[in-house]
Amino acid sequence: MASRRPQPAELLAGLPDAPGVYLFYGPLDELLYVGKSKAIRSRVRSHFSAPEERWLMRKVRRVEIRRTAGELGALLLESRLIKELRPMFNVASRQRRRIIVARRALNPDGYAVVNLEAVDYLDVHAEDPILGVFKHKTQAREYLAMIAKEHRLCPKLLRLEQARSYCFSYHLGQCDGACMGDEAPDGYNARLDRAFEARRIKAWPYESGIVIEERREGEKLHELFVIDNWCLVASYRTSEGQAQASAQQHRFDYDSYKILFSYLSDPQNESSIIPLDRRKFVDLLESGLGEFASGRRTR
């Protein structure tokens, strides 16, 4: 039997205006939606006032929250929960997929070609750059088609079409003939590199791993995140005297990359970032975050 539909005030009761993740459950206690906010109560209230979301809020029977010490923790937790719990209405990002990597290679004539590869793990190094990362092959091919038109790149060299002679775009006047050697490789390759600038994964800007610290002022909520090469390696959380450590798979996730890149690029977050040299980072991973966290709490 379906549960009674509560009033908005009932669902809002007890929700804090603090960072974290909220989960909407439906009549059969099915997970409908996962969201995040720096102020949970205000964000949930906004769902009720948005006309385009009334259909969703009519289904909500209870709201569960998971507090975090700051916005970064909320962003990372939301991304992970959506992939793990697969809520019904987080359609765009609920699936965990293999990512598609666009790699640059040279053909025998010296022209850059693009190879698409599906991978589970990505290690990003400055000495081994890749052109771009995509969520799925359709997105990758759409991007290749777009830059072919905007930058006069050859669809044959982009592996969008197969042809024994000139590509179809050459006959339309949209390719300068790189596919048959009519254009110098250096100029073509430079244009290809410029076309991928917006999609390029940036090299990791630190010598080794880092720790990012977030704490909720006035509350006993403290979180540490160990990051290396754009990957969340481990996390540590203390709340009301209770400690919880969590090890993560050292794997690249494009959604997490965008979250972390945005966070590390913001000068306001510099005070929360603790760079470590390689030795200290290895020691931290071997000994765990408990001792490190204790030292931070006493400061």
The alpha helices in the chain, defined as continuous H runs, are 8-12, 40-49, 54-57, 71-85, 137-150, 168-171, 185-195, 254-265, 278-287, 290-297
Nearest to 259, CA basis, from 293, 290, 234, 231: 231
Secondary structure letter of residue 31 according to DSSP: E
- Could you count the other beta carbons within 10 Å of the beta carbon of residue 190? 12
* Residue 203: predicted pLDDT: 82
* Residue 96: predicted pLDDT: 52
* Residue 241: predicted pLDDT: 72
pLDDT tens per residue across span 191-202: 999 999 888 888
* Residue 123: predicted pLDDT: 62
**Three-state secondary structure call for residue 272:** helix
Nearest to 157, CA basis, from 101, 196, 100, 110: 110
- Could you count the other beta carbons within 10 Å of the beta carbon of residue 96? 13
Single-letter amino acid, residue 160: L
pLDDT tens per residue across span 252-282: 787 888 999 999 999 999 999 999 999 999 8
Secondary structure letter of residue 198 according to DSSP: G
Nearest to 221, CA basis, from 65, 72, 70, 81: 70
d(CA 128, CA 10): 54
Are 96 and 64 spatial neighbours (Cβ–Cβ below 8 Å)?
no
Q: Which fold has domain 8-93?
A: GIY-YIG endonuclease (3.40.1440)
Annotate 163-187 with DSSP letters as a single string. Answer: -SSS-HHHHTT---SGGGT-S-HHH
* Residue 251: predicted pLDDT: 76
d(CA 144, CA 24): 38
* Residue 299: predicted pLDDT: 54
CA distances from 127 to 124, 130, 136, 203, 209 (A): 9, 10, 25, 9, 18
* Residue 287: predicted pLDDT: 81
Are 208 and 281 spatial neighbours (Cβ–Cβ below 8 Å)?
yes
Segments in the chain below pLDDT 50: 1, 94
Instruction: Domain ranges for the chain, please list them.
Output: 8-93, 99-199, 210-297
Single-letter amino acid, residue 39: A
